[in-house]
A and B are shown apart, each in its own frame.
Chain A
Protein backbone atom coordinates (compact mmCIF):
# COMPACT_ATOMS: atom_id res chain seq x y z
CA UNK A 1 0.00 0.00 0.00
CA UNK A 2 2.86 2.37 0.83
CA UNK A 3 4.50 1.73 -2.54
CA UNK A 4 1.18 2.36 -4.25
CA UNK A 5 0.91 5.74 -2.50
CA UNK A 6 4.45 6.70 -3.42
CA UNK A 7 3.96 5.75 -7.07
CA UNK A 8 0.68 7.64 -7.17
CA UNK A 9 2.31 10.78 -5.67
CA UNK A 10 5.19 10.50 -8.12
CA UNK A 11 2.81 10.16 -11.07
CA UNK A 12 0.82 13.14 -9.83
CA UNK A 13 3.95 15.32 -9.57
CA UNK A 14 5.08 14.15 -13.04
CA UNK A 15 1.67 14.97 -14.52
CA UNK A 16 1.63 18.40 -12.90
CA UNK A 17 5.18 19.12 -14.09
CA UNK A 18 4.25 18.09 -17.62
CA UNK A 19 1.13 20.29 -17.51
CA UNK A 20 3.09 23.31 -16.26
CA UNK A 21 5.84 22.71 -18.85
CA UNK A 22 3.21 22.46 -21.59
CA UNK A 23 1.45 25.58 -20.31
CA UNK A 24 4.66 27.61 -20.15
CA UNK A 25 6.21 26.27 -23.37
CA UNK A 26 7.69 28.93 -25.67
CA UNK A 27 4.96 28.84 -28.32
CA UNK A 28 4.75 31.16 -31.33
CA UNK A 29 2.67 33.76 -29.51
CA UNK A 30 5.20 33.99 -26.67
CA UNK A 31 8.10 34.19 -29.13
CA UNK A 32 6.41 37.05 -31.00
CA UNK A 33 5.69 38.90 -27.75
CA UNK A 34 9.34 38.52 -26.84
CA UNK A 35 10.35 39.93 -30.27
CA UNK A 36 8.09 42.91 -29.68
CA UNK A 37 9.62 43.61 -26.27
CA UNK A 38 13.14 43.21 -27.70
CA UNK A 39 12.32 45.61 -30.55
CA UNK A 40 11.01 48.22 -28.10
CA UNK A 41 14.08 47.81 -25.96
CA UNK A 42 16.61 48.19 -28.79
CA UNK A 43 14.88 51.21 -30.33
CA UNK A 44 14.84 52.97 -26.95
CA UNK A 45 17.80 55.19 -26.20
CA UNK A 46 18.96 56.71 -22.95
CA UNK A 47 20.49 60.19 -22.87
CA UNK A 48 23.85 58.70 -21.83
CA UNK A 49 24.01 55.98 -24.48
CA UNK A 50 27.45 55.68 -26.06
CA UNK A 51 28.03 55.00 -29.80
CA UNK A 52 29.21 51.43 -29.23
CA UNK A 53 25.96 50.54 -27.45
CA UNK A 54 24.03 52.25 -30.24
CA UNK A 55 25.83 50.15 -32.85
CA UNK A 56 25.14 46.93 -30.93
CA UNK A 57 21.50 47.88 -30.56
CA UNK A 58 21.14 48.53 -34.29
CA UNK A 59 22.79 45.20 -35.00
CA UNK A 60 20.23 43.61 -32.65
CA UNK A 61 17.40 45.43 -34.39
CA UNK A 62 18.62 44.09 -37.73
CA UNK A 63 18.46 40.56 -36.39
CA UNK A 64 14.82 41.09 -35.40
CA UNK A 65 13.81 42.13 -38.92
CA UNK A 66 13.53 40.24 -42.21
CA UNK A 67 15.70 41.05 -45.24
CA UNK A 68 13.04 43.37 -46.59
CA UNK A 69 10.85 45.45 -44.28
CA UNK A 70 7.91 47.71 -45.07
CA UNK A 71 7.78 50.70 -42.78
CA UNK A 72 4.60 52.77 -42.81
CA UNK A 73 4.31 54.89 -39.66
CA UNK A 74 2.60 58.24 -40.01
CA UNK A 75 5.00 61.08 -39.24
CA UNK A 76 8.12 58.92 -39.36
CA UNK A 77 11.06 60.36 -41.35
CA UNK A 78 11.41 57.22 -43.46
CA UNK A 79 8.65 55.28 -45.21
CA UNK A 80 8.09 52.43 -47.63
CA UNK A 81 9.68 49.11 -48.38
CA UNK A 82 13.39 48.94 -47.72
CA UNK A 83 16.14 46.44 -47.13
CA UNK A 84 17.19 45.48 -43.62
CA UNK A 85 20.45 47.45 -44.01
CA UNK A 86 18.71 50.61 -45.20
CA UNK A 87 16.21 50.43 -42.34
CA UNK A 88 19.02 50.06 -39.80
CA UNK A 89 20.93 52.98 -41.27
CA UNK A 90 17.81 55.20 -41.34
CA UNK A 91 16.91 54.24 -37.78
CA UNK A 92 20.48 54.81 -36.57
CA UNK A 93 20.45 58.26 -38.19
CA UNK A 94 17.10 59.09 -36.59
CA UNK A 95 18.21 57.82 -33.18
CA UNK A 96 21.30 60.03 -33.38
CA UNK A 97 19.02 63.05 -33.84
CA UNK A 98 17.13 62.28 -30.63
CA UNK A 99 18.52 62.86 -27.19
CA UNK A 100 16.30 60.27 -25.61
CA UNK A 101 13.82 57.68 -26.90
CA UNK A 102 11.63 55.65 -24.60
CA UNK A 103 9.42 53.03 -26.19
CA UNK A 104 7.38 51.32 -23.50
CA UNK A 105 5.47 48.23 -24.63
CA UNK A 106 1.95 48.46 -23.25
CA UNK A 107 -0.08 45.75 -24.91
CA UNK A 108 0.05 43.20 -27.71
CA UNK A 109 -2.46 40.85 -29.32
CA UNK A 110 -0.96 38.20 -31.60
CA UNK A 111 -2.83 36.40 -34.39
CA UNK A 112 -1.10 33.47 -36.07
CA UNK A 113 -2.45 33.72 -39.63
CA UNK A 114 -0.65 30.68 -41.05
CA UNK A 115 2.06 28.51 -39.45
CA UNK A 116 4.66 30.90 -40.94
CA UNK A 117 2.86 34.25 -40.89
CA UNK A 118 1.57 36.27 -37.98
CA UNK A 119 0.11 39.68 -37.25
CA UNK A 120 0.50 41.50 -33.96
CA UNK A 121 -1.57 44.48 -32.87
CA UNK A 122 0.65 46.50 -30.56
CA UNK A 123 0.26 49.48 -28.28
CA UNK A 124 3.33 51.39 -27.15
CA UNK A 125 3.98 54.59 -25.29
CA UNK A 126 6.53 56.50 -27.31
CA UNK A 127 8.44 59.37 -25.76
CA UNK A 128 11.01 61.18 -27.88
CA UNK A 129 13.11 64.10 -26.75
CA UNK A 130 15.18 66.17 -29.13
CA UNK A 131 16.50 69.71 -29.28
CA UNK A 132 13.82 70.61 -31.87
CA UNK A 133 10.80 68.67 -30.71
CA UNK A 134 9.21 66.58 -27.98
CA UNK A 135 6.81 63.75 -28.63
CA UNK A 136 4.88 61.80 -26.03
CA UNK A 137 2.04 59.67 -27.32
CA UNK A 138 0.42 56.28 -27.08
CA UNK A 139 0.61 54.70 -30.55
CA UNK A 140 -1.22 51.71 -31.93
CA UNK A 141 0.36 49.82 -34.81
CA UNK A 142 0.49 46.53 -36.65
CA UNK A 143 3.49 44.27 -36.88
CA UNK A 144 3.59 41.64 -39.59
CA UNK A 145 5.97 38.78 -38.98
CA UNK A 146 7.19 35.80 -40.92
CA UNK A 147 8.95 32.71 -39.68
CA UNK A 148 12.39 32.06 -41.20
CA UNK A 149 14.39 29.08 -39.95
CA UNK A 150 12.12 28.70 -36.93
CA UNK A 151 12.62 32.35 -35.97
CA UNK A 152 10.03 35.10 -36.25
CA UNK A 153 11.21 38.20 -38.15
CA UNK A 154 9.42 41.49 -38.60
CA UNK A 155 8.43 42.07 -42.23
CA UNK A 156 6.20 45.14 -41.85
CA UNK A 157 5.50 47.87 -39.32
CA UNK A 158 2.42 49.96 -40.03
CA UNK A 159 0.11 52.39 -38.30
CA UNK A 160 -3.25 50.98 -37.31
CA UNK A 161 -5.61 53.70 -36.23
CA UNK A 162 -8.27 52.48 -33.83
CA UNK A 163 -9.99 55.86 -34.08
CA UNK A 164 -10.30 57.34 -37.57
CA UNK A 165 -10.91 61.08 -37.47
Chain B
Protein backbone atom coordinates (compact mmCIF):
# COMPACT_ATOMS: atom_id res chain seq x y z
CA UNK B 1 0.00 0.00 0.00
CA UNK B 2 1.35 3.42 -0.96
CA UNK B 3 1.78 6.24 1.51
CA UNK B 4 -0.54 8.55 -0.44
CA UNK B 5 -3.42 6.18 0.13
CA UNK B 6 -3.81 7.19 3.80
CA UNK B 7 -6.84 9.15 4.97
CA UNK B 8 -6.85 12.71 3.50
CA UNK B 9 -7.34 14.39 6.92
CA UNK B 10 -4.50 12.36 8.40
CA UNK B 11 -2.33 13.25 5.45
CA UNK B 12 -3.20 16.92 5.82
CA UNK B 13 -2.45 16.81 9.57
CA UNK B 14 0.83 15.10 8.91
CA UNK B 15 1.77 17.68 6.28
CA UNK B 16 0.85 20.43 8.76
CA UNK B 17 2.80 18.98 11.68
CA UNK B 18 5.79 17.65 9.74
CA UNK B 19 6.02 19.80 6.63
CA UNK B 20 8.57 19.02 4.02
CA UNK B 21 11.43 21.47 4.38
CA UNK B 22 11.48 22.46 0.75
CA UNK B 23 11.99 25.95 -0.70
CA UNK B 24 8.23 26.66 -0.89
CA UNK B 25 7.91 25.98 2.82
CA UNK B 26 10.87 28.27 3.61
CA UNK B 27 9.40 30.94 1.36
CA UNK B 28 6.08 30.68 3.21
CA UNK B 29 7.87 31.04 6.55
CA UNK B 30 9.80 34.07 5.29
CA UNK B 31 6.64 35.76 3.96
CA UNK B 32 4.78 35.02 7.21
CA UNK B 33 7.65 36.40 9.31
CA UNK B 34 7.78 39.56 7.18
CA UNK B 35 4.01 40.05 7.43
CA UNK B 36 4.06 39.45 11.20
CA UNK B 37 6.89 41.96 11.58
CA UNK B 38 5.05 44.61 9.54
CA UNK B 39 1.75 43.95 11.35
CA UNK B 40 3.15 44.10 14.87
CA UNK B 41 5.48 47.00 14.04
CA UNK B 42 3.22 49.35 12.10
CA UNK B 43 -0.38 48.24 12.69
CA UNK B 44 -0.90 46.56 16.05
CA UNK B 45 1.98 47.16 18.45
CA UNK B 46 2.45 45.28 21.69
CA UNK B 47 3.29 47.32 24.79
CA UNK B 48 3.57 47.17 28.57
CA UNK B 49 2.06 49.86 30.75
CA UNK B 50 4.41 51.26 33.36
CA UNK B 51 2.96 53.68 35.87
CA UNK B 52 -0.19 54.28 37.85
CA UNK B 53 -1.68 57.28 36.08
CA UNK B 54 -4.33 55.21 34.24
CA UNK B 55 -5.56 53.25 37.25
CA UNK B 56 -8.18 51.78 37.61
CA UNK B 57 -8.73 51.46 33.83
CA UNK B 58 -5.27 50.09 33.08
CA UNK B 59 -3.22 48.36 35.75
CA UNK B 60 0.48 48.76 36.38
CA UNK B 61 2.59 46.42 34.16
CA UNK B 62 -0.35 45.41 32.01
CA UNK B 63 0.33 43.94 28.60
CA UNK B 64 -1.70 45.40 25.77
CA UNK B 65 -1.77 45.96 22.04
CA UNK B 66 -2.49 49.30 20.49
CA UNK B 67 -4.09 49.86 17.16
CA UNK B 68 -2.18 52.43 15.12
CA UNK B 69 -4.67 52.90 12.25
CA UNK B 70 -7.37 53.99 14.77
CA UNK B 71 -7.06 57.64 13.73
CA UNK B 72 -5.90 57.32 10.16
CA UNK B 73 -9.37 58.11 8.86
CA UNK B 74 -11.05 59.64 11.90
CA UNK B 75 -10.30 62.15 14.64
CA UNK B 76 -10.08 61.33 18.35
CA UNK B 77 -13.22 61.79 20.41
CA UNK B 78 -13.69 62.89 23.98
CA UNK B 79 -13.38 59.90 26.32
CA UNK B 80 -11.00 57.96 24.05
CA UNK B 81 -7.95 56.44 25.69
CA UNK B 82 -5.05 57.21 23.39
CA UNK B 83 -1.38 56.38 23.00
CA UNK B 84 0.81 59.50 22.76
CA UNK B 85 4.22 59.47 21.14
CA UNK B 86 7.03 61.21 23.03
CA UNK B 87 10.20 60.59 21.01
CA UNK B 88 11.26 57.62 18.98
CA UNK B 89 9.44 54.34 19.12
CA UNK B 90 9.99 53.00 22.61
CA UNK B 91 8.23 55.27 25.10
CA UNK B 92 4.62 56.33 24.83
CA UNK B 93 2.09 57.88 27.18
CA UNK B 94 -1.34 56.37 27.78
CA UNK B 95 -3.97 59.01 28.61
CA UNK B 96 -7.66 59.79 28.21
CA UNK B 97 -8.92 62.66 26.08
CA UNK B 98 -11.11 64.92 28.23
CA UNK B 99 -11.47 67.93 25.94
CA UNK B 100 -11.19 68.67 22.24
CA UNK B 101 -9.85 71.72 20.39
CA UNK B 102 -11.73 74.92 21.23
CA UNK B 103 -13.25 73.52 24.43
CA UNK B 104 -12.50 74.90 27.87
CA UNK B 105 -11.27 72.49 30.52
CA UNK B 106 -11.14 73.11 34.24
CA UNK B 107 -10.95 71.22 37.54
CA UNK B 108 -12.87 72.66 40.50
CA UNK B 109 -12.63 70.82 43.84
CA UNK B 110 -11.92 67.64 41.90
CA UNK B 111 -14.79 67.99 39.44
CA UNK B 112 -13.93 68.02 35.76
CA UNK B 113 -15.69 70.89 33.97
CA UNK B 114 -15.90 71.04 30.20
CA UNK B 115 -17.02 74.45 28.88
CA UNK B 116 -18.03 75.31 32.44
CA UNK B 117 -20.35 72.27 32.82
CA UNK B 118 -19.51 69.27 35.02
CA UNK B 119 -18.75 66.23 32.90
CA UNK B 120 -21.31 63.45 33.42
CA UNK B 121 -19.28 60.72 31.72
CA UNK B 122 -18.44 57.54 33.64
CA UNK B 123 -14.71 58.09 33.14
CA UNK B 124 -14.82 61.64 34.53
CA UNK B 125 -14.71 60.55 38.18
CA UNK B 126 -13.21 57.09 38.51
CA UNK B 127 -11.10 57.98 41.54
CA UNK B 128 -11.48 60.49 44.38
CA UNK B 129 -10.01 63.83 43.35
CA UNK B 130 -9.41 67.24 44.91
CA UNK B 131 -7.70 68.98 42.02
CA UNK B 132 -8.12 72.64 41.19
CA UNK B 133 -7.04 73.89 37.79
CA UNK B 134 -7.82 77.26 36.24
CA UNK B 135 -9.91 77.14 33.05
CA UNK B 136 -7.93 76.89 29.83
CA UNK B 137 -9.01 76.62 26.20
CA UNK B 138 -7.59 73.81 24.11
CA UNK B 139 -5.66 75.08 21.06
CA UNK B 140 -6.34 74.15 17.44
CA UNK B 141 -5.10 70.71 16.34
CA UNK B 142 -4.73 69.67 19.96
CA UNK B 143 -6.65 67.76 22.61
CA UNK B 144 -6.47 67.82 26.39
CA UNK B 145 -5.52 64.54 28.02
CA UNK B 146 -5.56 63.40 31.64
CA UNK B 147 -4.93 60.04 33.28
CA UNK B 148 -7.83 58.30 35.04
CA UNK B 149 -6.02 58.13 38.40
CA UNK B 150 -6.68 61.57 39.87
CA UNK B 151 -6.26 60.46 43.45
CA UNK B 152 -2.59 61.39 43.23
CA UNK B 153 -1.53 65.03 43.81
CA UNK B 154 -1.96 67.25 40.75
CA UNK B 155 1.75 68.10 40.73
CA UNK B 156 2.72 64.44 40.35
CA UNK B 157 0.29 63.69 37.55
CA UNK B 158 1.42 64.26 33.99
CA UNK B 159 -1.43 65.70 31.94
CA UNK B 160 -2.18 68.57 29.60
CA UNK B 161 -2.68 69.72 26.06
CA UNK B 162 -1.10 67.60 23.36
CA UNK B 163 -0.90 68.07 19.62
CA UNK B 164 -2.95 65.67 17.50
CA UNK B 165 0.12 64.67 15.49
CA UNK B 166 1.50 63.01 18.61
CA UNK B 167 -1.45 60.66 18.96
CA UNK B 168 -0.17 57.34 17.77
CA UNK B 169 -3.14 55.05 18.23
CA UNK B 170 -5.59 53.53 20.62
CA UNK B 171 -5.20 50.53 22.93
CA UNK B 172 -7.19 47.43 22.06
CA UNK B 173 -9.24 46.26 24.99
CA UNK B 174 -10.56 42.71 25.12
CA UNK B 175 -12.30 43.17 28.44
CA UNK B 176 -14.79 45.60 29.95
CA UNK B 177 -13.03 48.57 31.45
CA UNK B 178 -14.43 51.61 33.28
CA UNK B 179 -15.41 54.27 30.79
CA UNK B 180 -14.91 52.03 27.77
CA UNK B 181 -18.29 50.78 26.62
CA UNK B 182 -17.23 48.25 24.00
CA UNK B 183 -16.06 44.81 25.05
CA UNK B 184 -13.52 45.06 22.29
CA UNK B 185 -12.22 48.43 21.29
CA UNK B 186 -11.77 49.56 18.55
Chain A residues within 8 Å of B, Cβ to Cβ: 106-109, 120-123, 138, 140, 161-165
Contacts and interface: CB of A to CB of B under 8 A. Distances in A.
4 pairs of A and B residues whose beta carbons are closest in the complex: A163-B160, A121-B87, A107-B88, A165-B160
Contact of A165 (B89, B159, B166): B159
A163 B145 contact: yes
B160 A140 contact: no
A140 B159 CA distance: 14
B91 A163 contact: no
Interface of B: 84, 86-91, 93, 95, 133, 145, 158-162, 166
Contact of A121 (B84, B86, B95, B162): B86
A161 B160 contact: yes
Given A162-B84, A162-B162, A163-B159, 5 more contacts: A106-B91, A108-B87, A122-B87, A140-B87, A161-B160
A91 to B, nearest CB: 23
A107 B158 CA distance: 18
A106 B159 CA distance: 20
A121 B145 CA distance: 21
Nearest to B142: A164
A123 B91 contact: yes
Contacts of A106: 90-91
A120 B86 CA distance: 12
A106 B89 CA distance: 10
Nearest to B92: A107
A107 B159 contact: no
Nearest to A120: B87
A163 B161 contact: yes
A117 B93 CA distance: 29
11 contacts: A106-B90, A107-B90, A109-B87, A109-B89, A120-B87, A123-B87, A123-B88, A123-B91, A162-B166, A163-B95, A163-B158
B89 A163 contact: no
Nearest to A121: B87
A163 B162 contact: yes
Given A123-B86, A162-B86, A163-B145, A107 B91 contact: yes
Nearest to B51: A138
A107 B160 contact: no
Quick one: which of B86, B93, B145, B166 has the most chain A CB within 10 A?
B86
Nearest to A160: B87
Quick one: which of B87, B95, B145, B161 has the most chain A CB within 10 A?
B87
A138 B88 CA distance: 14
B105 to A, nearest CB: 10
